[in-house]
Amino acid sequence: MRRVFPIQQEAAYVAQNLAQVVQSQRTTRRAAYGATKRAAESLVALQTSEGYWCGELLADVSLEADYILLERWLQRRTRPAPLAEVRIRKACRRICSQMLPSGGWPIYPGGPADVNVSVKAYTALKLAGYTADNSILKRARDKIQALGGLQACNSYTRINLSLLGLFPKKFAPTIPPEIILLPGGNFYPGGVLYEMASWTRAIIIPLSIVQSVGGVRTIAKGPDVEELYAPGVKLSIPKRDHFLALFFHQLDKFFKVWERRGLREVRIAAVRQAERWMIERCRNSDGLAAIYPSIMYTVMALDALDYPLDHPFAVEARHQFDKLLTEKEDELYFQPCFSPIWDTAYSSFVLGESGLGNEQTMRKAGDWLLSKEVRHRGDWVTKRPHLPPSGWSFEFLNDHYPDIDDTAMVLLGLMHARGSDPEKQARVEGRAVTWLRGMQSRDGGYAAFDADNDWNLLNSVPFSDHNAMLDPTCADITGRVLECLVRRGGSLHDPSIWRGVRWLLRNQREDGSWYGRWGVAYIYGTFLALRGLQFARCDERRVFEKAAQFLISTQNRDGGWGESCASYAEDQFVRCESTPSQTAWALLGLSAAEQTSTPAFQSGIRYLIETQREDGTWLEPLATGTGFPNVFYLRYTMYAHYFPLWMLSVHARK
């Protein structure tokens, strides 16, 4: 009888187990390939005849609430139109349908009630004719008071209510139009205005006109919201910083006195300059900055300046605002903006990476993207006056504000989406790479719209509490730009790439993650930082290992990953139910860290395969995009299309 030694038994067991693992991985890859094909077919079917993709971009009910406020504010010059009243009723149905069972409204799906959006929604319903004894308003009122009442609202909620006489103007921060006249000196070229983020500039300039010349428009026999004050709590201007609060409070008092007693000539000059600034940036753009709040305040500013309703500027502003509206039989909702360039760049890139984008699909996408290159010198030129213009914006038309993130993503997409004119494409890509390199900030990282937009003093002004006063460098954009530049021929020997790598290494958190500014949150930042470092051939393995440990430690039991928007409030990872996009991000991060053989990676792949629907798509009801941290979040409805497809195609190819 043959004798079997323990070491032989162990070797046989290892061999058998290894064979089972290999067979399981092969089976998973075959399933991943099938899932990839279905997802690619679904994505191709969503391409428009013009060649672009554009999914809906969804947010909270503050957009519908602000719409009702806008209509009531405009009633000074126009009687309520029948169409407007029908739309207001539909907006109310939308608001009511999104209310939490416990009362109040959240700023992201699955989140708790937020005082600002709840106050806006409550006020809108009252402006639409709901009475205080309505059951919905009763529950909302109790929740708002429990959250601190009107006293707890931020600056923009206070300002909006004060425009209709529903909140004391003296406790709403003043945004003076004279801000456009303030110089910046040699260190701050262009003036103080250009030290603010691009979206903040586009909001406060028309809003300063509304505040200074629009007046308070109380509605005759209209409602009030006195019942929303929390008893026993004093009203005061919002405080941002204990050390600078006194200075900025005194400055706000000065502005309020200046409104009444300041030099009229200076005020007129400031308003006219603000008007010119606003109108100039409405040209070559789908509305000011092509985003909801800026366009809404533009409509109000033109009305405050007594532009006739049929004036081309007023007509165009209202047209651009109404384009953001989606109206159905029984409700309506607004999108904060449109995302065609972002969605088209990603769809082109992912289809190209998967090898499943047919020639016609990719050529149409390439031609469309090439036609959208920005050739206008926008606000960014203040910090980069000698840089030739190029790049891409986020929306259909927004030439004043091309952004770095979209430009990098388009350049990645154009690696696969070859247009019908190769020579034109080469010229466009060359200009865009030059522009992208030139927008690197002095610290080595990349921001969204501007370079060196980091004057932290501005975070202390009272109206900065939308948490987006500045546009600082961030890990997600820096990582994407590094991947783009390396895949476009750069290397770690390139000084700009080396500086970007050093920025990422300096900004890795203790737990191994990176903060994600434009996606929720640490999973997003970590996946993009890892890809940037991977393509730059960074050899600091400990950095990758720490990041992989973070991703593995945050995996859910079902094999997927999910991160709550609450991560921003907690300043650390907060788990939530798994989502397809965040699962794909985590897996892409693990792939960049060379952790594809781990059980965590394999179970993540199985999660994506098992949760795919028959039509090749995935369901994602949660918000995984970030507008303003802790204030405004986004549901990119196409994220659940292209991110899982990207990850599964990477796995299926191996």
Please give the positions annotated as active site: 405
Question: Residue 100 carries which side chain, given as an amino acid letter?
Answer: L
Residue 143: CB atoms within 10 Å: 21
Report the alpha-carbon distance of residue 623 to residue 183 in Å, rounded. Answer: 40
Residue 462 DSSP one-character state: G
Residue 356: CB atoms within 10 Å: 20
Q: Assess contact for 414 and 485: CB atoms under 8 A.
A: no
Report the alpha-carbon distance of residue 623 to residue 558 in Å, rounded. Answer: 19
How is residue 274 written in tokens?
């603000």
Which H, E and C letters describe 308-338, residue by residue? CCCCHHHHHHHHHHHHCEEECCCCEEECCCC
Report the alpha-carbon distance of residue 154 to residue 459 in Å, rounded. Answer: 14
Q: Assess contact for 154 and 116: CB atoms under 8 A.
A: yes
Rounded (5°) CA angle 596-601-605: 110
Report the alpha-carbon distance of residue 295 to residue 289 in Å, rounded. Answer: 8
Report the alpha-carbon distance of residue 383 to residue 194 in Å, rounded. Answer: 9
Collapsed DSSP state (helix, strand, coil) of residue 575: strand
Report the alpha-carbon distance of residue 79 to residue 511 in Å, rounded. Answer: 58
Residue 370 phi/psi, 5-degree rounding, is -65, -35
Q: How far apart are the first and last CA of the chain?
A: 45
How is residue 117 written in tokens?
């959006």
Residue 279: CB atoms within 10 Å: 17
Report the alpha-carbon distance of residue 132 to residue 375 in Å, rounded. Answer: 53
Pairing relationship of beta strands 57-58 and 325-327 according to DSSP bridges: unpaired
Question: Residue 463 carries which side chain, given as an amino acid letter?
Answer: F
Collapsed DSSP state (helix, strand, coil) of residue 642: helix
Q: Assess contact for 307 and 78: CB atoms under 8 A.
A: no
The CA dihedral of 95, 101, 102, 105, to the nearest 10 degrees, is: -20
Measure CA 486 to chain center: 26
How is residue 203 written in tokens?
């909001």
